[in-house]
A and B are shown apart, each in its own frame.
Chain A
Amino acid sequence: MALKQISSNKCFGGLQKVFEHHSVELNCKMKFAVYLPPKAETGKCPALYWLSGLTCTEQTFITKSGYHQAASEHGLVVIAPDTSPRGCNIKGEDESWDFGTGAGFYVDATEDPWKTNYRMYSYVTEELPQLINVNFPVDPQRMSIFGHSMGGHGALICALKNPGKYKSVSAFAPICNPVLCPWGKKAFGGYLGTDPNKWKAYDATHLVKSYPGSQLDILIDQGKDDQFLSDGQLLPDNFIAACTEKKIPVVFRLQEGYDHSYYFIASFITDHIRHHAKYLNA
């Protein structure tokens, strides 16, 4: 599990680095970005995992969201992995933008030919955190997760499937109910097979219904002018209804005029970092 540093840039007193390593889980070379705040020079910091959306790489978040200042101030190590295995030479992996490369959907694939490499769920919840805990000054007891769109879906399921593992969770325009949306149906069908009951294990709205009730504070921002919202890809209302019923605390903010882009993320990234810092630095 040797890490290879690809880049390192000073940013808000800390360092934005990118590493490459060979992933056992994904059976390929993977890159991830890690931001080390100034505080990490002297002590262990909480770790905050960011999961990006469709088509993104480890670069997208670190170049577009402008999260560094807030992370620097709150002293958070922010880790942004890639969104899928790459270069696995699986037939059809690069055919569409919403399936295969750049569209891992944070599930462990059970279907051939994907099941060898497309194990993003295990990668982000197990392999990557172990790697980070060993190689960087982070406190393993304090970690949180957030993401955007498909990454928002990933963040929600990671938190809901692992009660207590993450101190907090938040999401920008997450795919809240993938089993009911076109993206989810396509991806889950491809990775998990045709039985929709299997899909529910990776569906946030379904997971909420069986969530045991460990305290979890969920913050969701959603642009009101997000075309995928109106296309029915995101379905936050289903998630909110489920959370209301199960009394799982969610603050859902429908932001007037914002779309699905990183401009929207950049507008509220500080709120999200603060949301996590509140629990990670409590």
Chain B
Amino acid sequence: MEEEAEEAPELDRPTAPRDFHFYHVDLYDSEDRLQIFPEESSRMRREVVQAEMTGEPRGLAKRKPQRNLEEEVDELVHLYGLEDDHELGDEFVDENMPRIEVSEYPPYMTTEREPASEQRGWRLSGEAAEAEDLSFRVWGSAGKCQDLREAYRYTHGRASEEYECYVIPEEEDEEEAADVFCVTCKTPIRALEKVLDEHREHEVTPLNKALESAKDEIHRNMYKLEKQIIEMENFASHLEEVFITVEENFGRQEQNFESHYNEILETLAQKYEEKIQALGEKKKEKLEALYGQLVSCGENLDTCKELMETVEEICHQEKVDFIKDAVAMADRLRKFLETKTDVEISTQPALEDQTLDFADVEQLLGAINTIPPPSAPVINPQAPNSATGSSVRVCWSLYSDDTVESYELSCRPVRDSSPGKNQAEFTMTVKETYCLVTNLVPNTQYEFWVTAQNRAGLSPASERAVYMTAPSPPIIKNKEIRSCEEAALICWESGNLNPVDSYTVELTQADTPEASGVTESVVGIPTCEALVQLQPRRSYTIYVRALGVGGPSARSEPATVHTTGSYFRLNRHTCHPWLTISEDGLTAVRSERKTPAREPPPSNTCFSRCVAVMGNLIPVRGRHYWEVEVDEHLDYMVGVAFEDVPRQEDLGANCLSWCMRHTWASSRHKYEFLHNKMTPDIRITVSPRKIGILLDYENSKLSFFNVDISQHLYTFSCQLPQFVHPCFSLEKPGCLKIHNGVSMPKHITFY
């Protein structure tokens, strides 16, 4: 049923990506963009119709609200197209989106109300809830849904108060329950009625079957509507993004224009000033020249007048005098007339051709539509957890005024030389303001810087930022893991040459299905080992991560810990030279030697007197149990000792060690329980082949058992202020095998 329902919504899916294209391609082309809305809404309408068309034609009432919706959307689009106010975008989102939802939600709402159909955990948004009333108004008379509801109501017997919003059909019989469903009348009836009245000729089905098909119908519709709701929600959020981006882009463009216009105005004002000044100077210069000419002209005039007067005087004189003077006068006149009177106007009154040079202004105007080169981007410091062992994610930002076509990211590993102006080792060109730089070396610092560029040119480089790759995963030392019932001691190698900040140990319980997948983490471990508290008798898978500035490393290879009994291995550093420790660290062998080498020199770590070896028990105060497999005829010692027990003394020969000693001499077994060279006198009739040792810090007890027959052999009461380690000694050639990780037998709980 569900598969069937899935088909229809699936068909619409390929159209969805279209939403993403228009916005980027035609960001500034408003006409194209605006067409999107009607288109989208009509597409959605188609979906609605498709989803609802499950066999019956829809009533007119259904169409009407759709038309209303369409009008609303168109109106909005229209409004939005005309208005330049970017706030409208928000309005659209805030106010009108819910109204779109209203038309999409009602079927969903009604099914949500049916208690029987709550098979899916649908989230009911508050918005939708508010819109509920409206939805019923819109859908009130929609035939199909009404039918389904009625079918439901009948199947549920009495109408509960939940249905009080529906019209209860008159023909419903409150007294007797209907048991069959009349397909023709679409109403449940009693089987008796079928025989009687108007249903006689009608097709009937059992009520259960009708119920089933009604349920199926509703579920199918629910599914389709669910699909639509999701799609609409996606579309709404996408629209919101578009609005915000458009708003931002326009704001930026406005600022851009404004600054350009200011620049042009400034340039013009400057040019005006310059021209005015030049004109003034020219005017002054010309007027001065004319004035000078005027003055000299006046002077000439005076001279002429004077000459005239002189000549007139001469004319009135006597003849002799006249002639004398006349000659002189004539000379003077001739001289005077010879000097050419300058009557040319030295300065043209007309203005010279004042061509105004607007070339630079034109250039500026032209520049309005071009863009300036970007300023230097700002590189971000490394974000936490953004790195892996081989990659870092470098992020930067640009100034909002800038238009950037691409960035060039440069990278250089920080080596011994201090970060500085060294050459980039490689560069990358990216379009985004981030870049995932890969193929790097783990736990290493890299210096990054970035330049932005567009058509107009290249920005200066950003500051340099140092990023660090995450460390390599640590390597758990499987052979050094020790555990007991309550804890485990995990050791690992860093796996990194450079120091890391800390380590994280992750624990997953391996054997409990109910707890599987739950991972506990112990964080902030500064060293390469950690003591983690665990639950008894479980299996854990353990991983370690290294943590650096750049983030956590990948998980280490897993290690497995079983918290059954205690688990340790023999410590080779304490091993007497005559002993050989097996590969698994659980068997000590003293091989046959005809002539044993001389005793080794005293040492602080190796046992040099008794042929012994220590085990590495986890330093946890609790109860520890382990078993040792021995040969009945072997001379051995098993017990515990403080870490600083003198290595050149026998076990049990001092206050720092406790041990059970077995010697086999002249066909007799001798058992001693030695501490400080003293032993109780104890005889044991059955030689143990496997000795169980219980170390109980809480009760200050060390007990020995014959494992095979659950026999208690001896218990030391010993004060253990420090941690002790298991000890094993072979007095004669032979071998001891340690059995670790065995659960404590029940009987030992009595000791």
Contact = CB atoms under 8 A, between A and B. Distances in A.
B420 interface: no
Interface of B: 680-686, 706, 709-714, 746-747, 750-751
Q: Which of B712, B714, B747, B750 has the most CB of A within 10 A?
A: B750
A249 B711 contact: yes
Contacts, number: 60
Contact of A215 (B681, B709, B747, B750): B709
Interface string A214-249: 010101000010000000000000001001100111
A274 B685 contact: no
Nearest to B669: A244
Contact of B750 (A219, A256, A278): A278
A275 interface: yes
Nearest to A208: B685
B631 to A, nearest CB: 16
A1 interface: no
Nearest to A236: B683
A217 B683 contact: no
Contact of B711 (A217, A224, A253, A282): A217
A252 B747 contact: no
A251 B684 contact: yes
A88 interface: no
Contacts of A219: 712
Interface string A123-158: 000000000000000000000000000000000000
Contact of B685 (A224, A240, A256): A240
Contacts of B683: 240, 250-252, 254
25 contacts: A224-B681, A240-B685, A247-B685, A247-B686, A248-B686, A249-B686, A249-B706, A249-B711, A250-B684, A251-B711, A251-B712, A251-B713, A251-B714, A252-B682, A252-B683, A254-B680, A254-B682, A254-B683, A255-B681, A274-B751, A275-B712, A277-B750, A281-B750, A282-B746, A282-B747
A252 B711 contact: no
Contacts of B710: 217, 278
Contacts of A274: 750-751
B709 A249 contact: yes
Contacts of A249: 684-686, 706, 709, 711
Contacts of A277: 750
Nearest to B747: A278
A123 to B, nearest CB: 30
Contacts of B747: 278, 282
A278 B714 CA distance: 15
A256 B686 contact: no
B134 to A, nearest CB: 69
Interface string A266-282: 00000000110110011
Given A252-B682, A253-B682, A274-B751, 12 more contacts: A243-B686, A248-B685, A249-B684, A249-B706, A249-B711, A251-B683, A251-B685, A251-B712, A252-B685, A274-B750, A278-B712, A282-B746
Contacts of B709: 215, 217, 249
B751 to A, nearest CB: 7
Contacts of B711: 217, 249, 251
Ranked nearest first, the 10 interchain pairs of A and B with the lowest CB-CB distance are: A254-B681, A243-B685, A250-B685, A252-B683, A244-B685, A278-B750, A249-B686, A249-B711, A278-B747, A253-B682
A183 B681 CA distance: 26
A264 to B, nearest CB: 14
Nearest to A281: B750
A282 B751 CA distance: 13
